[in-house]
Structure 1
Amino acid sequence: MNILQISIQAPGYNSGGTLGILQFSYALTRKNSVTYIGPKIENTDVESWFKDTIYMSRKLTLIEKVKSLMHLQVDKYYILWNKLDIDFNEYDLIYIDFTRWDFVVKRIRKSGYKGKIIVRAHNVENDYLQVEYKSEKNLPSFIRSALAASREKYMIDEADIVLAITPEDKKRLIELYGTSEGKIYVCPVGVNSAKKRRENRINKEKKLNCLITGSLWFGPNAEGTIWVLNEVFPRVADICRLTIAGANPNDEIRDACKKKNAVLVESPESMKPYFETADMVLVPIFEGGGMKVKIAEAMSYNLPVVTTSHGKIGYKIVNHINGFIFDTPDGFASGIREFYLMNQEERKQFLDEEWKLYEQNYSLEAICEVLQKVIER
């Protein structure tokens, strides 16, 4: 099958968003001929998956920026898209990442395209962009949040199939836009496994290396990180060290790390070294949409995860069996301590259960199977 993949972000390994795109790039290219349109793919191995690539990477002129704003567009790709010369009917299927680019779908429909369109909702954009605006409070985020619902609705209405990443997101899209249930398929996040499965190397004579990752400027990530620093870490400081590695932490996080003696790594180029040296991953999330890719990443390294009821959305985690789910400081701390106090056989059983969950549901191979079935339908 000849497929056109269109994306806001390039597939890659350096963030949750790029990993989310990577999984579907991988799945689409295994059995199909795929042309990619979007930002430049920096990883040459990933770039080689595609039959062809069309990059939109240049900066806009001031006049072009003004023209975009006049159309209430704060995305540079609005102008760049209008300059592309594409025969959409060369493709049997067009796959679009994110439900933000209504102008792309409008152009596809205007061209008289006769094939099928799949749109993947990485989040419920209406809800995500409202949270983003609360965090950033600037003109671009205001415009995005104000127009999010109408743009997302148009894309979902015009798509032949919509992919949601959680049952909760599917329910929310139906609730917001009246979409038919049969049009939306749930396809969770998936990530590539580490080169080899991690061996359990925890020694009770040493402290656990606990890791928090994420975009630390984003409200829910920042709030959860502060919560762990102030409310949870003091309860387990005797058995764990805490490393926080993520993009653009705010001043409150910086100050709390100094006070609590936690290690802060600002905007690391790669998270791989931090996952490789961690013993446990903490995911303290209390609001926001979609699935937390960092949980699948932790599972791919076979690292135990402590998260919240909200953080586990989309994951088939069973408390105390293959993960820990707590919403209070005492509970969250007890999950960390429970794993620390397990004997070697208990830890092995726990991690075996987590690895099985990962391989069957959140590995790239599992996602390939799900997506191929959707395409065949």
Structure 2
Amino acid sequence: MNAALPTPAAAALFDRIKATLAGEQRQRQPGTWSPVARYLDPSRHLSELAALRRLPQAVADAATLQAVGDWRACSVHGVPVLLTRGADDRLRAFINVCRHRGAALVPEGASGQGRERFVCPYHSWTYGSHGACVGRPHDGDFPHAPRDRTGLVELPCAQRFGLVWVVATATPGFDWAAYFGPLGDEIEELGFDAAARVQRERHFTQASNWKLVLDGNLESYHFAYAHRETIAHLFHDNLVVHDQVGDHQRIVLPKRSFAELAEPPARLADFARTLNIIYFLFPSTLLLWEGDHINAIALSPADGASTRVDGWLVAPQRYLSVRSDGHWQRNFDMFWQAIDEDLALAASMQRGLTSGANQALCFGENEFACAAFHDAVQRMLD
């Protein structure tokens, strides 16, 4: 018997999974088609890129930006970004571009500690970690460009789930609470709050359109076939419990070990051994909850046929001292072994898109989460 009564959320999820496993509540939507042009059209790619820049993206390990003077340069959907922790202890994001002639202040991928100023290598315009232009040679030659109007362009920035999130378009007053919504609160209740820490990370370029990667991660229909040698034995075939939350999605993947539960666990976190949850934060970040950690993937189109992939394994503070380094490595490797299987298939699909075999890709009634994603992309473009 559980020591505590289950929360309403835990009880409701338990009942939904039981009904789904019994065949009483299998979620389905009408089948649809996904035009091949969605993945090939160069003008659509540019429109998507512009739209993606207006929405948040996970970009970095928050623990590397905790101390005053910490900084890091990265890229968000092709926009060069400088992350800084100022003397006021505030985390900020700026476009990593000098306001004089547009040179990058620091190279992409560079990082460091204890830095208060950033000097442009071209003409030595100097900026503080708070973004203000604090100095430049021959200042009197620029009466038309006063320093108080030539600070770095600031971007919306937030820290959630052990990661730094950035919107790549200057958007004063961006509503972070509304963006993350109830899914953000749920993820933090699982332990992934400000104390969560990244244990592993991976960064590379994938040879396919970004939407093909997401198509392959929003359904479990492929598990029994694409993952037959890795994770298929853990899960029920072609079965999910799905929730649409605005444009975000929550996809619960019951494991075969769910049968061991005779009654609802007390909390959502207590389901850890019996299911995984995919939190898809639209438009391009996936968080896979696996009990004592989350594997996060952020996607950024490099061009129409390739995608920047950033991945992090994030663990709650309470597990950092009781799990070995080998534990995190084994889980990281297992996750990426399965994801690499998906990515190889996505690259294969990309190569086949121009063959003429298909004018559209087919989504079955069981692949409705993919169709919902594409509907959200269309709304984003509209």
> Do the structures match in fold with TM over 0.5?
no
Q: Which has the larger radius of gyration?
A: 2
- Higher RCO (CA-CA < 8 Å; seq separation 6+): 2
More helix by share: 1
More strand by share: 2
- State TM-score, norm by structure 2: 0.24
